[in-house]
Structures are given as C-alpha cells and as structure tokens.
Amino acid sequence: MQDSEIEELADEIRAQLCEVPSPHPEFCIGRVRRGLREAHRVAYIPMTISIGPLHHSRRDLTTMEKYKQHYTKAFLRQSPHMLLEDYLKALQGLEEKARRCYGEIIDLSSKKFKKMMLYDGCFIIELFLRFMREAPGSVDDPILKRIGLLKRIKRDMILFENQLPYFVLQCLFNISSVFNGGPSLIDLALNFFSDIIPGHKKFPQEMGVDIKHLLDLLRHSYAPSWIDEHAFDNEPEVLIHSATDLKIKAAIKFRTAGRAKSLLDIKFHSNGLMEIPRLKLQAETESLFRNFMAFEQCCERSHAYITDYISFMGSLIKAWDDANLLCDIGIIESHLPCDPLAITDLFRTLSKELVVYNCYYSRLCKRVNFCCTRLQLPWPWAETTVCNCCSVFILGILLVFLWLVWLRFVLKISLLVHG
C-alpha cells in the first residue's frame, strides 16, 4: 500500500474507534451474554411490554403504549401543582447519566429518549400505586382487571434487558405528590413483586445500597442477612458429593433453616448439620433466577450471590434422588407438581454456562469436603466402600494362592537339584 492509502486507512480506523463506547462504571443494563441466552432464550425476552430502550422499537410490543399513556396521564393528575415541563426538565438532567447505564449506544434522539423515560417511569409508578390501592381483578382498571395480563407484565418487568435506571423512577416519584406521607418507592415495588419472590423479606433500607434498577432491587432483597468477607474465596470450590451421598455415606444431616432471614443464609455446623432456607419454586422462579444471574455475570461479578447460590444448589442436586431428599425435608417447596426429575433438570440447566468468580460458599464447601475426606468417603466416581473391601479381600486371596504355587515350585526344583 502507498503511504497515502495507509494514512487514509488509519483515518478510517480512528473514526470507527471513536464511535466505540468505553466501558462506564454506571453500566448496569445490557444484553444477556450469549452462552446464557442460548441455554433458554425465551427467559430473557419481553413478550408483552418494553421497558427502557433496548426493546423499545419492537412492533409486537407497541400495543402496551396506549396503557403507558393512560397511566402516565393518571399519574401526572395526582400532582396538579406540577407542570409536565417540570418533569421533562428533571429528566433532561438525567438523560446522559441514564444513557451511560446501557451497554450499547442507544439509537434514540434526545426527544424520544426523554419521552421513553417519562412514559415508562410514570407507568411503572402508577401501576405500583394502583396495585397497592386496588386488588387485582378490579373491574375499573384496564390491567388489574385482567389477571393474565398483569402476570405477563410482571414477568417482563424483571428481565435484565427490560430495565429503566432506578434513579429515573426515584426522580419521578420524588417530584410528584404521591411521595408525601405514603409508602416509599421500595415498599411499593416489593409489594408489587411479593408474590413472585420466594422467601421474600423486607428490604434493608438502612444499608444504603445503591440500587441500579428494579431487578437489582429484587436481587438485593435476597442478599445474605450478614456479609462475611472471609467467606469469599478466589479459588471457587464446589461440593464433591451430592445431597444423598452426604446423608447416607457421610452422615451429614439436612434441616430447613426456619429462622433464616434470607434465602441465601446457608450454614454448616461442626456437628455435621447443614441448614438451608426453604426455596419455594413457582412458575416465575426460573425466569427470575436466570435474569438475576444474567445481571450478575455482566455487571456484579464481585458479589454474585444468586450465581453462587445456584452453583451450590446445583452441586447438591445431581440426580432425582437428591431433589427428592430435599423436597421430603422441606428445603424445596414447589407450587408446581413436585417432580424430582423436573427440579433436577431445572438446576442442571440453570448451572449451564455459569462462571463463578469469587464464590460466597467456597469456605463452606471446603469444610464439607474436608469432613467427607476425614470420614474417608469414596470419591463419586469410585465404587462403594463395601465393593472396595471385597475387591481388596479377593485380590489378597489371589496373591496368597500365587505365592504358595510359586513356593511349591521353588521347593520342587530345589529337591531335584540336590536330590
């Protein structure tokens, strides 16, 4: 290539590189990683409503736009002292920060982006308010009166790719009249999602957690009730043996942790007792956990509590008899038909493509594995202890027999030589 062609190509590459967005600390909403998506694509894609810009242009979701406008109108009416311009000015100050929350360049004009934030944000808050004031099935509300539609909307609102930055919701909530003397936005959100959060507990508002979006809010409601920084281990270790093997061969006892404040508060005591909080499996559980993990794998690798939990439970549940054991004890409670094979398959598929960086349960797993080693529990791929003993006994008899035959042969030769 000539020097002029080299310079022209260099200018073209520079222009392309300038358009590539640099990773930003505020990035918290993006596309699900390919490996996770391929395992169960339908669990990550909105089917009824788009929230935020990543699925904003999909034509099959435009039906819900009229509901967004209807709810936005009702929300704005509750604050007659505020003008629409006041809301738009507040959102204008958040636009650049909001755009940085997404893992790609958002191809929406400033006007369309602010309109999207207004409609989506007002719709979410108004839906929370109506859900708290009116029982689902109300004949006067276009969404609450249709239970099936409400469930589909809830399902779409917990998807990682279908999020709006939480500070946008908080801004709209704070400048409206609904904030005065009423429940907080966190309380409204947890009340709205309470029926799809197994093991739900009140969000610890005093912790001052930086909430990224609604999915992150629900994830924080699962966080361990205590954070032991010494529990983390840079060399993740999983359980060697399944729940059934641990019970039968290592005499490890399992019990439901009745007083646990969090689903993730798993304990292993020195007397060989493992306490695990009850997990209630519902229709939405798989999608909820998948999107928790998609968010953690993308943005929260240092404290990926849900990923660590799924990895731990996947190590315990390797076959149907493991799932059956935990169901019998009450550690797993299914609102669906309690099929051990289905539960086993659920944790097997959830564990696919997981990358565990700094597992919260590594120390616990090491203690359990050490207990098994101390009891000389055979490795999973070995035969049972009885079979091993039989094999050694038979081999010993065979060696003795061969030694006697050899000794008789040597004596016979000796007699012939000296005879």
pLDDT in tens, 303-319: 889 999 999 999 999 99
Residues pairing with 332 in the sheet: 279
At residue 196, the pLDDT reads 83
Give pLDDT tens digits for 72-112: 999 999 999 999 999 999 999 999 999 999 989 999 999 99
Is the pLDDT at 201 greater than 60? The verdict is no
The verdict on pTM exceeding 0.95 is no
Do 329 and 255 meet the contact criterion of CB atoms below 8 Å apart? yes
Output the pLDDT for position 384.
44
Query: What is the predicted pLDDT for the residue at 170?
Result: 96
For residue 151, give the DSSP letter.
Answer: H
Q: What is the pLDDT of residues 141-195, one digit of tens each?
A: 889 989 899 999 999 999 999 999 999 999 999 999 877 778 999 999 999 998 8
In whole angstroms, give the CA distance from residue 188 to residue 132.
7
Residue-wise over 104-137: b if at least 16 C-beta within 10 A, else e?
eebeeeeeebbebbbbbbbbbbbbbbbbeeeeee
Give which of 255, 230, 254, 231 is closest to 244, Cα–Cα. 254
Largest pairwise CA distance in the chain = 126
Distance CA 323, CA 325 (A): 5
How far apart are the C-alpha atoms of 357 and 363, rounded to whole Å?
14
Instruction: State the Cα–Cα distance between residues 15 and 42, nearest whole angstrom.
Output: 37
The kind and range of the H/E element at 124 are helix 110-133
Residue 301 or 220, more confident: 220
Residues whose CB falls within 8 Å of the CB of residue 363, separated by 6 or more in sequence, listed in order: 230, 231, 232, 233
Given a cut of 50, whether residue 291 has pLDDT beyond it is yes
